[in-house]
Each structure stands twice: as C-alpha cells, then as structure tokens.
Amino acid sequence: MIIYGSRMYFKDRVVKSFAECDHCGRYGRMTSYQAKKFGHIYFIPLIPLGEKSQVLRECGSCSMGVHIPVSRLDPVVQSVEERFKSWIVEVQQGNTEVELSDAEVKSNVGMLIAGILDDLYCLKLIENVDSISAILMAQGMDYENEIVQATWMEIRGTLDQGRARLEAAAKLRPDERYPRFQMGRLEVLRGNPKGAEEAFLQYLKAYPDDFSAHIELATLYERANNFAKIVESYDKLYSMKPELIPNAGMQKLYKKACKKSGIGGKFLAQMK
C-alpha cells in the first residue's frame, strides 16, 4: 500500500501556546509556526504545494489553524506591532483608557493589550509579559497588569493562576465587569461547568441585562442537556432580542427542550 498525502514540512519559528480553538471550540495546546506544504509519499516531502505560510494556533485536537502566506505577512505583523506600540505609549503617558476610531466609548488599555497578547506571542514579537508588566506597574496600573497577567496565564495554560489574577483585578475594581465575566469564561475552559454557572449567575446579579452572559449560561445548559434550564435561558434570550425567534436552529433546540422538560416556553406559541 502506497502512503501518500500532504502536510506542512520544515517548520521554524515554532511557538507553543494554549487557546480556545475557533473551529472545534476546545481549549488546549496550540502550535504556531512557519512552514511549507508538500505532497509526500511514505512521508517523504516531494512535491511543493504553494508558498511558505505562517500558521497561527494550529489546534492539537482538530489540526485546524489560520494560514497566512509569508508574502502577505508583513502588513499583519505591522498592524499588530503598531497597535501594541500605540497602547504602550498611552500607558507611558499615564492613560488608562484609549479612544478607538471605530468605538463609541473608550477602552481600557489593559484590556486592549490583553486582547492582542496572543498574536504578539504567536508571531514571536514577545517572549513573555515581563516588560509589559514593568511598564504598567511603573504607572501604578495594577488593575491593568492583573488583566494582562490573567490573559498570559491563559495563553500559557495555567488557568488556576489566571483565575487568581482575575480575582485580584476584581478586588482592585469591584465595579468593573470584565474580570467577573472572564472568571466565568475561565471556569468553562477549566472544564468546570458548575463553577462557570455560579460565576455567571453571580455576574448577572450585578448586570442582569448582559446578553453575552445569558448566552454563556444557555450554552452551558445545552452542553449538559439541562432542558428545563434551556427553556428558561432561551425565554430570557428571546425576551431580550425578539429578532432571534425566527432562527431555525434555536427554534429546534427550544422546542426539543420544551418537550423534554414538559415546560411550555413563553415563546413556543409564536413558532410554527
């Protein structure tokens, strides 16, 4: 039997990280690297297939990732670098909030840096967050530092430490939504649905109209086949956003949950 196929060969600039896969949804080991695809026979690379690519966050479970031809990589790297450098300048000027051109409200600089951290690391633009933390701490931005550190722990796969950092951030600023919401999300990544449910329910006591948190709860109940809670969650989602009622996928699950739980959902009569 002849073994043939194609795969990426001659990997360099390899970076190991952890993330939630955009394709299969699992949180786990990711690999970023540059390589070239070859057709192979008996795993011997013989036929080059296209140009060298930058692969970002190739999932250890489903093997999917983002592929960017190296010839098109420079603008991507430049965009990441420019945003990062501009936010560091804001920090050095003592600004905790940044006004983005496409946003109506200012964004916390710590959250912005945390949001780009994974790209910085996977593109080998940074090796760790030590220098970032030093700059934040020098400006007395303890809250922002905890947010950045929490994200770094998630990238490194140390979720317990990430949770501790979020708890520290929440203590520093009890009225801020972000760390409290992220605590629920981190419990999901840790495979602790009960802890995630408790975290999101606690969060919703303070912010009952946060649609994203209701979505997170509904997803938890769907995974657990908790049909009574699915009906309750969907009733809340539909009441907040009636435009979702015609969605066929949601309708199918809602009707099934109503039937399985024996609960007549508030919006069942509006569905065909």
* Mean pLDDT, the chain, whole residue set: 92
Give the per-residue pLDDT at 103.
66
Whole-Å CA distances, 245 to 7, 40, 116, 249? 43, 50, 35, 10
Phi, psi at 128, each rounded to 5°: -160, -175
Among residues 58, 60, 44, the alpha carbon closest in space to that of 3 is found at 44
Is the predicted pLDDT of residue 264 greater than 80, yes or no?
yes
For residue range 52-64, list pLDDT tens digits in order.
899 999 999 999 9
Give the per-residue pLDDT at 71.
93
Is the predicted pLDDT of residue 3 greater than 80, yes or no?
no
Is the predicted pLDDT of residue 134 greater than 80, yes or no?
yes
In this prediction, residue 44 has a pLDDT band, given cuts at 50, 70 and 90, of low
How far, in Å, CA of 266 to CA of 272, rounded?
Answer: 14
Among residues 188, 130, 133, 179, the alpha carbon closest in space to that of 159 is found at 188
Beta bridge pairs of residue 39: 6, 47
* CB neighbour class for 151 (10 Å; exposed up to 12, middle 13-18, buried from 19): buried
pTM of the model: 0.88
The answer to whether 162 and 146 have CB atoms below 8 angstroms apart is no
Among residues 148, 188, 185, 141, the alpha carbon closest in space to that of 165 is found at 148
